[in-house]
A and B are shown apart, each in its own frame.
Chain A
Amino acid sequence: MRVQTTADDELALKVRTVCADVLRVPLERIPLSARFSEDLAVDSLFLVQLAIGLEEALEVDIPETALSTVQTVNDMVVYVASRRGDCS
């Protein structure tokens, strides 16, 4: 089992913060378990808007082809982490 690191927590918080900012909701409404479509009313169009916000804030590329695999906030954190790992 992978141990959650401080860096993981930090990234998760950053992703959640960007989502809260773009969606204009309080941070507590964006738990890692939140589903973009069912819980946050984020459709495919708005998911692209979120991705743009994350790209700017986290300096990472999120190709639109990847968005179809992202269902939850945690999925997004995992995906961003993998992209950052690729860049390091």
Chain B
Amino acid sequence: MTSRRVVVSGVGMVSPVGNSAEAAWRAVASGQSGIGLVGRFDASGFPSRVAGEVRGFCPEQWMSPRDVSLSDPFLHYAVAAATMAIDDSGLMDDERARTRTGTCIATAAGGTSVLLAQHAILASKGPRFVSPMTVPFSICDMASGYVSIKFKLEGPNHSLVSACASGASAVGEAFHMITRGSVDAMVAGASDAIVPLHLAAFASAQALTTQDDEPCRLSRPFDRGRSGFVMSEGAAVLVLEERERARSRGARIYAEVAGYGSCADGHHITAPDASGRGAARAMCEAIGMAGIAPRDVGYVNAHATSTLLGDRAEVAALRHVFGGSLDAIPVSSTKSTTGHMLGAAGAAEAIFSIYAMRDRVLPPTINQDDLDPDCDVDSVPNVARPGSPAFVLSNSFGFGGHNTTLIFRHPLA
């Protein structure tokens, strides 16, 4: 453990289960699914026709109508979530915080809708009609950039991409930036938006469920009846702060970031290493950094997306790390209610992990009818359960073989 410690002092979220972190958590903890038939565009001819779409969200509440009209939903969600997190933290109550606060808001795909729309204009009308906002509002760093502009933050400002682990990587790398003294606070998280092209593409990659009966029942991690993940979207942002600074200003401290592990499978562009070796290394690194034993983890928020290969590989990794003690550790996947929020998932699940500790409630894996024998974990099936973990572990993995693990410590542990 380094001499500088990092805590979470603010959270914000836009998701298919609620447009605030608290609303999303209430839905997740009560097992309410945010998944339905795609309503935003005509997906009737698509192999996969279900998704977790953000609903009832008004981007003009967070950005100027002018900027909303020219930018991408990924940016809208990110700015909303970041604003909520910063307001929640009270960090900006002190103007002096600006020079020592940075941003790292990640994304898997960035402003794809803007790119596609402007490409269509290029093709139909020619280059002179391409918007001058195309580049700033499509590139992956602009969520971080826009938030830093909105709040006049002058610390390091960048984004990163590790596919569906992006949100977790952002939190982990922001943690390191604080511990090494580059900044005192970071606004860290991720955002991604559903795009028809990606819905088609993930389906082509055989990654999505193609069923549409009872959409809310289709995201079923660890269940024998699972048939692929359900694409979802949203943004989740956390404010991380150097612990003593947070304490001295009387900040509300949700949790401490106790450990972070990051490594690669070196195996395949989409499939995880079935042995779980890479994921296990990430978990071991995080556990070692937290200075705890594996059995001290009281709850695991799994990456488990409801794919055959991915869920099994993660359980294999968990067995490798925890051995027999895994039987006593609840392992649930909140993707069963939210769907897979792509880059945002890791940051959203970090927030759910923190709330689980705060409220002493372990969220369920819903749609558990018949546990896959190769996923033999206590998945907190269908109904939330009381629990008081002092340490929570959250996994996120991504195409390209990214393995990312975060460990959070209860503030009183």
Contacts and interface: CB of A to CB of B under 8 A. Distances in A.
A60 interface: no
Interface string B45-66: 0000000000000000000111
Given A23-B66, A24-B65, A49 B129 contact: no
Contacts of A24: 64-66, 68-69
The dominant DSSP class at the B interface is helix
Interface string A30-45: 0000000000000001
Nearest to B121: A52
Interface of A: 22-25, 45-46, 48-49, 52, 55-56
Interface residues of B, number: 12
B70 interface: yes
A52 B129 contact: yes
Contacts of A56: 125, 129
B132 interface: yes
B204 interface: no
B269 interface: no
A49 B65 contact: no
Contacts of B197: none
B146 to A, nearest CB: 14
A49 B133 contact: yes
B211 interface: no
A45 B133 contact: yes
B132 A45 contact: yes
9 contacts: A22-B69, A25-B66, A49-B70, A49-B131, A49-B133, A52-B131, A52-B132, A55-B128, A55-B129
A49 B132 CA distance: 6
Nearest to B66: A24
Contact of B132 (A23, A25, A48, A55): A48
